[in-house]
A = this chain, B = another copy of it.
């Protein structure tokens, strides 16, 4: 069996962190005889610079043909003033929508070794383990009509459309119920059903799905309250399901509760379990090229890839165990450094994971 992995290093620290994850994947490839083949392509700002498109055709073709994709990060100030269609982010959004990667899984886990990095009190976050399931190919990110127009009275108006169909809600709902079923059996659906009609439909469909998953306890929460509860008592949550925009906000908030966003992986899956895997953090242009970025979120994203797209649970667990081991050894990149630990570079961290495998 041979499987094709597409590497998309992207911008900023992307190339540095993907390089370490590639080494780690290479090693488990041998150890577990996984039959992985690697290819690389351009996306985001790097693609814009080379081809004038944030998602060149050749990249999209390779992505479609791949069994799984490992992405670094996209974007940076260099491209920030370009028009919307010519922004690095459009490369990422284009991949998500063209491959129909509608299910974004974002775990927010507090590593016990890094508990002190959180800005929250230890008792509030110790043992934190939340899974956020974010809808990724619909909602206001992709809704039409959208744009900026001149009104008759001479004023200008910007507008976007927040829309979901019942079938879009149903398919992301199923992913979330199934995740909850395999975890703590608690699902919290986040909406703004007291104000937005689109989320009234959302809530209705989630209620409807409940009958198919009798073991899962479903609750609903308004998004403003969810943003509060994540700060107040995050451990009340097991799985959270929400739309694209609210998911963007809440998953970043939840990630930051751990204090170690450099540690958090994510998966974006379609209905064939084809997936794109990427760290939760961004391209961090301020530290790009210095060899100090934390590669662990990308390495853990590679582990998620083995688990969700390739069905290689054993290899995934081996990587996760190796990461845990290097943390136990006291190795820390700058972002997670604390007193008494050993500060290491991006490459040293990658090498340490290799050695621990």
User: A interface vs B, CB < 8 Å?
Assistant: 75, 84, 87, 89, 93, 119-121, 124, 140-141, 143, 146-148, 151, 155-167, 192, 194-202, 223-225, 227-233, 245-246, 248-253, 255-257, 259, 261
CA gap between A148 and B159 in the complex, in Å = 19
What chain B residues lie within 8 Å of A196 (beta carbons)? Answer: 140, 146, 158, 160
Q: In the assembly, what is the distance between CA of A249 and CA of B342, in Å?
A: 38
**How far, in whole Å, are A163 and B195 apart by their CA atoms in the complex?**
15
Give A36 Cβ to nearest chain B Cβ, in Å. 32
Chain B residues contacting A155 (CB-CB under 8 Å) are 165-167
Cβ-defined contact, B245 with A192, below 8 A: yes
- Report chain B residues within 8 Å CB of A75: 194
Q: Are A151 and B124 in contact (CB under 8 A)?
A: no
Which residues from B are CB-within-8-Å of A225? 252
Partner of A158, one of B84, B197, B230, B261: B197
| Known pairs A228-B252, A231-B119, A248-B223; A159 contacts B167 (CB<8 A) | no
Q: Whose C-beta in chain B lies nearest to the C-beta of A230?
A: B253
Known: A119-B120, A151-B165. A158 touches B201 (CB 8 A): yes
Q: How far is the CB of A82 from chain B (nearest CB, A)?
A: 10
Q: Which residues does chain B contribute within 8 Å of A228, judged by CB atoms? A: 252-253, 255-256, 261
Question: A192 to chain B: which residues have CB within 8 Å?
Answer: 245, 248
- Give min CB distance, A26 to chain B, whole Å: 32
CA A117 – CA B230 in complex, angstroms? 15
Query: Is the beta-carbon distance between A140 and B162 smaller than 8 angstroms?
Result: yes
Partner of A227 from B141, B160, B250 at Cβ < 8 Å: B250
Beyond A143-B159, A148-B198, 7 extra complex contacts between A and B, CB < 8 Å: A84-B197, A119-B232, A119-B233, A120-B121, A140-B195, A158-B200, A249-B249
Q: Do A148 and B197 contact each other (CB < 8 Å), given the known contacts A161-B161, A223-B249?
A: yes
A84: chain B residues at CB < 8 Å are 197, 200
Q: Could you list 30 A-B pairs, sorted by A, with CB under 8 Å?
A: A84-B200, A120-B231, A121-B121, A140-B162, A143-B159, A146-B196, A146-B197, A148-B200, A155-B165, A156-B165, A157-B166, A158-B163, A158-B164, A158-B198, A158-B200, A158-B201, A159-B198, A160-B163, A160-B197, A160-B198, A224-B249, A224-B251, A224-B252, A227-B227, A228-B255, A231-B231, A231-B253, A231-B257, A232-B256, A253-B253
User: Across the interface, do B201 and A156 meet the contact criterion of CB distance under 8 Å?
Assistant: yes
Contact: B160 with A159, CB < 8 Å? Answer: no
Residues in B whose Cβ lies below 8 Å from that of A250: 227
* Chain B residues positioned under 8 Å from A163 (CB to CB): 157-160
**Residues of B close to A230: CB separation below 8 A:** 253
Q: Is the CB of A158 within 8 A of B257?
A: no
Collect the chain B residues with CB atoms within 8 Å of residue A252's CB.
224-225, 227-228
Top 3 nearest A-B pairs by Cβ distance? Answer: A158-B201, A158-B198, A159-B163
Measured in the bound complex, the distance between the Cα atoms of B198 and A195 in whole Å is: 19
CA distance A248 to B223 in the complex (A): 9
Once bound together, how far apart are the Cα atoms of A165 and B156, in whole Å?
Answer: 5
